[in-house]
Structure 1
Amino acid sequence: MHKSFLLLLLFIATLSRAQSEKKAVQPPNILFILVDDLGYGDIGVFNQNARKAQKDPSVPYLITPSLDKMAANGAVFTQQYANAPVCVASRSSLLTGVTQGNAIVRDNQFDKALEDNYTVANTLKQAGYTTVAIGKWGLQGLTKDWPAHPMKRGFDYYFGYMRHSDGHEHYPKEGPYRKPKEVYDGYENVASRLDKCYTGDLWTARAKKWLIDYKRQKKSAPFFMYLAYDTPHATIELPTQEYPKGSGLRGGLQWLGTPGKMINTASGEIDSWMHPLFKNATCKDKATGAVTPWKDVDKRYATVIQRLDQEIGDVLQLLKDLGIDKNTLVVFSSDNGPSQESYLKEPYTPQFFDGYGPFDGIKRDLWEGGSRMPVIVQWPAKIKPGSVIAQASLLSDWAPTFLNAAGMSAPARMDGVSLLPVLSGKGGQRQGAIYSEYFFKGKTPAYPEFEKAHAGRAMNQMQMIRLGNLVGVRYDIKKQEDDFEIYDVVRDPKEKKDLAAQMPGLQQQMKARVLQLRSVNESAPRPYDQELIPAITDQPHSKEIKWSLYKDAAAWVPETSSLQVVKKGTAPAINAGLFKNADANTVTYRGYIRVPADGAYTFYLSVTGNAFFRLHDIPVIDADYKYEDHAEQSRKLLLKAGWHPFTLTYKKNGESPSVNLQWSSAAFSKRAVSAADIY
């Protein structure tokens, strides 16, 4: 009897452990909240709480209690960058997981179609997620059929502003400053029903309604929601009334669904309600001691930020009320630095609230203030409350992170790296490339708070790369030989001391590296597009290709760094017959191609199955996405003589494995890349 009882206890313990392990691997729900033109310094935990603590009547401050609470319950990223310092390019990289050096949408290409390739949405769909986008899009394409409508790029449902310019104002129907807007429910324009709907409230109410319905219908199935606000961007408009009492399931904003009264704040007077905390706010002039009221535009901005904070808190409370908060990964970020636009008669400047925080630069700048983001992450099941993460990263790292969290590999096409190790505190964290390029014909604002070397600086062609703690920045680039300014942004976040003169070796490394990780895009020409891509400076250590076999369940060619190796070895050349007697379907070849002389080289690739080929970190040939006919793909590169590292990942299908990599130049006709070309 005693023995039977012990066996019963052992069985219960084993069953309990198995159930716990099963529960532990449950893919998380994912909610990405993106706001528009909010500065690093606009958030309480990053800057505003410190301003408030001064108790100085000459130091005004903003309040963001919901975001502060989110940070206390999760983690803040102190060194995460937007891929670009303007919304459309930043969002395109976020959604596709690639840097601006390899994105299709760059610079100010508003409304240009998001590329038809892997996105965070269509990959998560294949991982079993239901996907929804709510809010601002601006990447739909310029033709009437909108080839890159969100529901053509992997989202199951969409509700929001399709066109970029619509997001300049926050009342879709009334449009007091600009023409009436269009809001799409799927493919239907429903703006005529949206009387007095302030968009921050509208997107929040719609997101809450979707979450409530989804929880009722889908139970434990995972979802990915991209909740993209258009505030505080552009016209600094006020809501119609104070925030409804309560939050979450039993209060706050509510979706009513009645034309003319779609949400519970669609009444009162548009652009009218100012928060009582700011309505009569005053500020003391440090120089004169005079006390004056805040400008109307500053009161407006403070109200909009406080409203945005309440809207986000409302959604977070709903997750808790629905019982899904513990295993929901929530990421909050802005898309670029703070703006000095108001679209009103009275101009706005982020100087009043110190929206750029400890940095110089604003929106459209590649100084830290234009691209360092106020990122907060909450995931109670995995993240230790109150964590501070100093990992240097990009917004494009979130796509592979989400896939990793869902138990999937990321496509080889994505430049980003998974941040799951640093979020969970488990495993080794890889460092991804931190790189940005941007063109804008303007100047950095001449704020007296900015360094003299930065204030009023001509922008034009700009470039930024970060290696370790050191950031290289180039403004008004005329040619590839132009030097980077180099700053230690950990010790010197304001970028006061240029270290370039002390680091000639790093200067050359940065100049080489920026050419080794980007692609030429004819729609966004750069002064360095026709430069030869440098070879590595050290002699390779192996005369053979290193290969590794993997077993991967994804429908795409995977980025294999995070996968478990099934088998590995070396070979003198690319060999597709490595799968024999191995339980694997993917192989990655890594080696060095010897370029005999400076010049143009064309690479050709055809496979049975799918493949992705990179030289250095440049995506050369994509024989993966919608590659079904074994057709040969090719790409020309300008290369300097020497050794160039390559990565070729091949995923077989049911056919006999076949990989055919060839190349040609002015000096030799098209032929296979052979053992004689490889080190």
Structure 2
Amino acid sequence: MSQGFQIFLFFLLALSFNVTIFSQEKRPNIIYFLADDLGYGETGTYGQEKIRTPNIDALAASGMKFTQHYSAAPVCAPARYMLLTGQHAGHAYIRGNDEWNERGDVWNYTAMFKDSSLEGQRPIPAETVTLAELLKTKGYITGIFGKWGLGAPQSKGDPNNQGFDEFYGYNCQRQAHNLYPSHLWHNQTKVVLNNKLIAPHQKWDSLSNPKGSGFFEQFIQKDYAPTLIHEKALSFINNHKEESFFLYYASPLPHLPLQAPSDLVDEYRIVFGEEEPYIGDKGYFPSEYPRATYAAMITHLDQQLGELVAKLKSLGLFENTLIIFSSDNGPTYTGGVDFDFFQSSKPFENGYGRTKGFVYEGGIRVPMIANWPSKIKAGTTTNHISAFYDVLPTICDVVNIETPDEIDGLSFLPTLLGNNQPEHEFLYWEFPSYNGQQAVRKGKWKGIRKNIFEGNLNLELYNLEEDEQEHTDVSEKFPEIIALMEEIMGQQHTQALNPKFHFKELGDN
């Protein structure tokens, strides 16, 4: 055998060895950790000064922080639908919260407990292609732990029928208005908890001096849903450590009501001092220490993220796991939350009309952190403009899945890897609640149309580079930009299949 042939044979063997190693390399695990109603300014890495979030901050310090990432909707269900399908609000099946009222008294918690057919939201269609279903084509084990909200138990929209191998948590977002609920769901099984059934929206009689009366004790029970959900999520990781998995961790925190572990509440009580109790006059449970409790909820969320990262590290999985952390929409404006005290939407406007439920920046601009130690450079910040519906094509790129044709998203994998990133021509929102709204983000420009159901089709226009708080409407100065925004709104809005989401003012039947 000649020396040249020996070298050639060695080269072929080495190449074969490398190809074999690459083909056997385990695909990355993917964790999407979604907070509920967490404001843009409610974590330390995004400027929060009163609430401790060391684990979220550490995730950002060792990963990438997005400063211009948006939810696809200003409330829960549509945001989650668009996240899982890659569609924006002009094309999506779910465009608002829909409690499927024609079934009966769906807000009667006692009736729901007895009859599960009253529980859950209107189901998404059986033919919906979700991110979980796409990942299963590549052999991923898929799990959702937390809040679902896209289809009642045993319906075609149930998470087990939409690509998830395991589900534990709240099927129904109405049930999630109590963090000590009567029950949760494990796949198709109703798990009754050691809690007394208390209706979250029941009206409570205010007391002249509720402090020290025992009045608040009834709202803190035994089985705290965020803890149970967290334990199941950790078990999922442990059970599938040898496989590639997708974990959708849809935490119910810090969504109201104000309920948190007492040790954390006590710590914040010392920091914040005396405060006025919240009696529950807005339909949420009362709280003796509303500021301390809200801060405790966010810190508890942070602790759970830290425990999840620690679990990955202990199993040797952290380096090969892509973690994305975000929030489904902006912070709430009700239920005892002191959004001014915490500056929840900083640097954007706080309060009703500007946060949750509205398409101003405080309602839809959300924190997002991506961490993937083997791929993402630590301590980076990007101003790439992105949205929830970009997550599906991004993860498809990560795993080498062909994306569906009917999506509106754009992969931000190039940004994660430090490469040249194609940019969106625009982002689009519509929301058939709070009098009807539309919005477009195009570069530095933000166009907003509100009160559509009152016949208003005029647009407000803001230059976000100069006016990120959206204080100065410059629509009269830039008629050509307004015309372009109107054209985009006209093109991107399609009539929803569900009449509940129709805009007659925009030409819907």
TM-score by length of 1: 0.62
> Which residue does 1:515 correspond to in 2?
490
Answer whether contact 1:135 1:203 (CA < 8 A) is retained.
yes
Q: CA deviation at 1:233?
A: 0.7
Q: Deviations over 1:530-551 (max 9, x none)?
A: 18xxxxxxxxxxxxxxxxxxxx
- Give the distance between the partners of 2:194 and 2:271, measured in 1 at CA: 36
Q: Deviations over 1:265-310 (max 9, x none)?
A: xxxxxxx333453121237xxxxxxxx6586100001111111100
Q: CA deviation at 1:15?
A: 5.7
> Which residue does 2:507 correspond to in 1?
530
Q: CA deviation at 1:146?
A: 2.2
> Which residue does 2:268 correspond to in 1?
278
Q: Which amino acid aligns with 2:493?
A: R
Q: Does the C-alpha gap of structure 1 residues 328 and 529 become closer, same or farther in structure 2, counting only changes over 3 Å?
A: same
- Give the distance between the partners of 2:425 and 2:55, measured in 1 at CA: 30
Candidates 236, 240, 247, aligned match of 1:225: 247
Q: Does the C-alpha gap of structure 1 residues 433 and 191 become closer, same or farther in structure 2, counting only changes over 3 Å?
A: farther
Answer whether contact 2:193 2:223 (CA < 8 A) is retained.
no
Answer whether contact 2:76 2:328 (CA < 8 A) is retained.
yes
- Give the distance between the partners of 1:465 and 1:140, measured in 2 at CA: 29
User: Equivalent residue of 1:38, what SS?
Assistant: coil
User: Equivalent residue of 1:352, what SS?
Assistant: helix
Q: Which amino acid aligns with 1:234?
A: L
Candidates 55, 58, 61, aligned match of 1:66: 55
> Which residue does 1:483 correspond to in 2?
458
Q: CA deviation at 1:27?
A: 2.9
- Give the distance between the partners of 1:134 and 1:338, measured in 2 at CA: 21
Structure with the bigger RCO (C-alpha within 8 Å, sep 6+) is 2
> Which residue does 1:171 correspond to in 2?
180
Answer whether contact 2:141 2:240 (CA < 8 A) is retained.
no
Q: Does the C-alpha gap of structure 1 residues 234 and 339 become closer, same or farther in structure 2, counting only changes over 3 Å?
A: same
> Which residue does 2:39 correspond to in 1?
39
1:304-343 alignment, distance < 5 Å: 304-342=297-335
Larger Cα-atom Rg: 1
- Give the distance between the partners of 1:509 and 1:392, measured in 2 at CA: 19
User: Equivalent residue of 1:236, what SS?
Assistant: coil
1:185 pairs with 2:174: no
Answer whether contact 2:144 2:168 (CA < 8 A) is retained.
yes
User: Equivalent residue of 1:190, what SS?
Assistant: strand
User: Equivalent residue of 1:520, what SS?
Assistant: coil
1:226-265 alignment, distance < 5 Å: 226-239=248-261
Answer whether contact 1:160 1:184 (CA < 8 A) is retained.
yes
Q: Deviations over 1:296-332 (max 9, x none)?
A: 1000011111111000110011111111111211111
> Which residue does 1:80 correspond to in 2?
69
Tell me the matched-pair count. Answer: 444
User: Equivalent residue of 1:109, what SS?
Assistant: coil
Q: CA deviation at 1:482?
A: 2.5
Q: Deviations over 1:98-120 (max 9, x none)?
A: 11111111223141212331111
Q: CA deviation at 1:338?
A: 0.5
1:115 pairs with 2:105: no
Task: Judging by fraction of residues, say which structure has more strand.
Answer: 1
Candidates 141, 156, 168, aligned match of 1:159: 168
Candidates 338, 362, 380, aligned match of 1:369: 362
User: Equivalent residue of 2:448, what SS?
Assistant: strand
Q: Deviations over 1:430-483 (max 9, x none)?
A: 426411111334xxxxxxxxxxxxxxxxxx111110111211012212588732
Q: CA deviation at 1:2?
A: 12
> Which residue does 1:554 correspond to in 2?
none
> Which residue does 2:445 correspond to in 1?
470
- Give the distance between the partners of 1:351 and 1:126, measured in 2 at CA: 46
1:497 pairs with 2:498: no
Unpaired runs of 5+ residues, structure 1, are: 52-60, 173-179, 240-271, 284-291, 442-459, 532-637, 639-679
Q: CA deviation at 1:10?
A: 5.3
- Give the distance between the partners of 2:142 and 2:426, measured in 1 at CA: 28
RMSD of aligned residue pairs (Cα, Å): 2.6
Q: CA deviation at 1:139?
A: 1.3
- Give the distance between the partners of 2:367 and 2:382, measured in 1 at CA: 12
The percentage of aligned residue pairs carrying the same residue is 32
Q: CA deviation at 1:184?
A: 1.0
> Which residue does 2:399 correspond to in 1?
406
Answer whether contact 1:326 1:380 (CA < 8 A) is retained.
yes
- Give the distance between the partners of 2:378 and 2:13, measured in 1 at CA: 32
1:348 pairs with 2:337: yes
- Give the distance between the partners of 2:138 and 2:406, measured in 1 at CA: 17
User: Equivalent residue of 2:319, what SS?
Assistant: coil
- Give the distance between the partners of 1:32 and 1:187, measured in 2 at CA: 23
> Which residue does 2:218 correspond to in 1?
none
Q: Does the C-alpha gap of structure 1 residues 192 and 276 become closer, same or farther in structure 2, counting only changes over 3 Å?
A: closer
Candidates 200, 204, 212, aligned match of 2:238: 212
Q: Does the C-alpha gap of structure 1 residues 71 and 20 become closer, same or farther in structure 2, counting only changes over 3 Å?
A: farther
Answer whether contact 2:194 2:222 (CA < 8 A) is retained.
no
